[in-house]
Amino acid sequence: MAHPHTNELRDDPDITSIERITLDELESPVVKQGANYWSALRGTRRFPSRKDLHPRDVASVLPHMVLIKVIDGGDDFEYRIVGEVQAQAYGHRLQGRRVSQIAAERPAYGHHVRGAYRRICESGEPIAVRGQIGSDFSYLKYTYCEHIALPLSNDDKNVDHILIFSTYVARAFADGKK
């Protein structure tokens, strides 16, 4: 089986194939709007802070947004705000839960998101990805996604929140079902 973060076997709908992309390669208008909002908040700083974020400013894309609090420098992560599109895509409640709790139920999910969130905390760099979700993650309610995860910091050094914007193609539509 191909590693889930490679382009190998991209044409096989049973295999998850996620590719990292640059901010310039974003295609989704929703995800681009989220990235532009983060950039505007940041200005000349390395990161915007959590207190700069006002969900009403991005009301049109709020259903596609997630705000995650970094716990103990990246030992864990807590879902603070989870938009409706996000909640539907994952098929289980995320808001108010920690990645460690979800990982106990869904180890593969926990492994992948914990690793990505830790990379953001360590590097301070946004991560943008898109790709196909195969049957190896069949509990997810989508088959294609584009995400951007953006660091926030109150001191412009230590990432204390992660802001995410995503779009999805639902499994029912991708499979030709209604």
Q: Tell me the CATH number for domain 17-174.
A: 3.30.450.20
Given this model, what pLDDT does residue 3 score?
A: 34
Given this model, what pLDDT does residue 133 score?
A: 67
What's the full length of the chain, in residues?
178
Q: Is the pTM of this model over 0.85?
A: no
Q: What is the mean pLDDT of residues 21-47?
A: 94
At 155, give phi and psi (nearest 5°): -115, 5
Q: What is the mean pLDDT of residues 149-173?
A: 87
> β-strand 65-71 against 76-82: which pairing, if any?
antiparallel
Q: b or e along 16-36 (b: 16 or more beta carbons within 10 Å of the residue's beta carbon)?
A: bbbeebeeeebebebbbbbbe
User: What 3-state class would DSSP assign to 40?
Assistant: helix
At 39, give phi and psi (nearest 5°): -60, -40
pLDDT interval class at 82 (50, 70, 90)? very high
For the chain, the helix, strand and coil percentages under 3-state DSSP, each to the nearest 5: 40, 25, 35
